[in-house]
Structure 1
Amino acid sequence: MSQRAVQLDVVEGVGHVTFVQPERGNPFDQQFCSELCEVAIECDENPAVRAVLIRAQGRWFSVGADLKWLCSDRELLPRRLKQATADLHMAVSRFARSDAPVVIAIHALATGGSVSLTAMADFAIAARSAKFYAAFSAIGFVSDSGGTYYFPRRVGTRKAADFVLLNETWTADEAQRYGLVSRVVEDEQLEAEALALAARLAQGPTRTFGEIKRLLLSSADTPLEAQLELEARAIADCARTEDSWNAIQAVVGKKKPEFNGR
């Protein structure tokens, strides 16, 4: 395992998370899950990371689960899956609840868990030629990586059932129409569009973005009065930040606010 599966580079406020095993199709195995968890924690803890951009190298975005790894030892497989998903699911949770908004750029086929990551991201941009393949039930598995949480929230319960139970493949245009991705761009524009969005977010009020993300996560299953209290507490927390105070002063003074993430 000399070669990493997931690489992190922080450039001008953007944490570039890149899947870097293109010759293998960027599969989800123990190494990948462990390194994705490590990178997610770093993005969550490093104040220099004010937005996250997830991309992948190679012909595929990800082929999903590494089937050779899965079939190498039947007796140990349940234990291996529990260990791998412990890391993978912690990564999803850290990205979802971090202050830094997450942008994912899908350039090609995304399979299985990588489709769940697409649903998790705050912004999902797909190249016109990208495709999304459920894959889980094809090998007798349930959706992981937060898929059963995010698919119904992004596309609705009916389309989520279609996608996962019928093991569907969606084009980029279908994924946008159903709500899985935010926007579709021409293939040659994907990298520039995704980076521009991540860079824009990295210049925003990072801690406020985090409060918004966490409020959106809680909104589906929190009673109204409880959500109102969460909003009140979150806006009070925002008011304690330098970004919020300085922005209020700038707007009152008819100036453009500048945010530093604090």
Structure 2
Amino acid sequence: MLDTESFAVAINDGIGHITLDQADRGNPFDARFTSEISLIATEMDENSDVRCVLLDARGKYFSVGADLKTLGRDPDELPRFIKNATAGLHVALSRFTRMRAPMVVAVHGLAVGGSVALSAAADFCIAARSAKFYAAYTGIGLVPDGGGTTFIPQRVGTRRAAEFLLRNETWSAEQARDNGLINYVVDDDELTGAAWDLARELADGPTLAFGEIKNLLLSGSDQPIEAQMELEARAMARVTRSEDGWNGVRSVLAKQPPTFHGR
């Protein structure tokens, strides 16, 4: 498994488990974080044993977002630093979004800035009841990264996204759920169990079909309907060539529960 300092990473029984592991610093998105998360995303995308990804965090905070101490060191070098740091983060988010394995994010404590974008990018996000989601960017005069201007509007709509980002709002877990940013809110002591139960359910599912659906959802907002339907037909045809697709149909015809293996 990958040797990383900002994360703890393990793959067990089909679930790729990624934990933000700089609890003493609030799990900041610093240069090391963005470099390592790119490597992790590639591994999760390429490893055929990974059928679902679960991302959570250790410590008081889910993530405090950008490392302000790093940002505040040298104004002349800051633009270069931003371009280099966001490169790794953006590669990671792209691969998490397009990989066939569904991704579940479990948020506790405070999620700030880029970690809100990460939560929005995930296929599923579960939050502890005490969790909060803080926009943060305009509070320091900056703009979103990590796909925040794509993923957050996709979840909550452009008007709510503009309000959240421009007015630098903080949403409670219930507000985040009601606005569509996250899927579920659970009691704090139930977060870990609920996240693992969902990850297990997804890992046991038809992951080839999941991957096709994820990509179709990405293209659905910018393709003409005729083009999108052709993409659907082609995706359906690809899945029917798979063992999972054929066995799924045959199992239902035989009135038996299907079993999927991701091939």
- Normalised-by-shorter TM-score class: over 0.9
Aligned pair count reads 261
> What is the rounded CA distance, in whole Å, between the counterparts of 2:246 and 2:4 in structure 1?
45
Cα deviation, residue 7, structure 1:
2.3
Superposition CA RMSD, Å? 0.9
Query: Aligned residue for 1:224?
Result: 225
Cα deviation, residue 3, structure 1:
6.7
Query: Aligned residue for 2:116?
Result: 115
> What is the rounded CA distance, in whole Å, between the counterparts of 1:115 and 1:39 in structure 2?
19
**Structural mapping, 1:19-30, within 5 Å:** 19-30=20-31
| Deviation readout 1:179-205 (Å, 9 max, x if unpaired) | 001010000000000000001100011
Please say if 1:257 is aligned against 2:255.
no
Give 3-state SS (helix, strand or coil) of 1:80's partner: helix
> What is the rounded CA distance, in whole Å, between the counterparts of 1:47 and 1:91 in structure 2?
17
TM-score, length-normalised on structure 2?
Answer: 0.98
> What is the rounded CA distance, in whole Å, between the counterparts of 1:231 and 1:247 in structure 2?
18
Give 3-state SS (helix, strand or coil) of 2:127's partner: strand
Letter in 2 for 1:162: E
Give 3-state SS (helix, strand or coil) of 1:53's partner: strand
Give 3-state SS (helix, strand or coil) of 1:72's partner: coil
Letter in 2 for 1:56: A
> What is the rounded CA distance, in whole Å, between the counterparts of 2:10 and 2:65 in structure 1?
23
Query: Aligned residue for 1:202?
Result: 203
> What is the rounded CA distance, in whole Å, between the counterparts of 2:205 and 2:53 in structure 1?
13
**Structural mapping, 1:54-203, within 5 Å:** 54-203=55-204
| Deviation readout 1:139-165 (Å, 9 max, x if unpaired) | 111111011001111001111011000
Letter in 2 for 1:19: L
> What is the rounded CA distance, in whole Å, between the counterparts of 1:150 and 1:20 in structure 2?
24
Query: Aligned residue for 1:5?
Result: 6
Give 3-state SS (helix, strand or coil) of 1:103's partner: strand
Give 3-state SS (helix, strand or coil) of 1:247's partner: helix
Query: Aligned residue for 1:235?
Result: 236
Q: Which runs of 5+ in 2 are unaligned?
A: none
Letter in 2 for 1:245: W
Q: Report the CA distance shift for 1:28/1:229 in structure 2 as closer, same or farther (over 3 A).
A: same
Give 3-state SS (helix, strand or coil) of 1:36's partner: helix
| Deviation readout 1:103-126 (Å, 9 max, x if unpaired) | 000011000000000100100100
Give 3-state SS (helix, strand or coil) of 2:66's partner: coil
| Contact 2:4–2:36, Cα closer than 8 Å, also in 1 | no
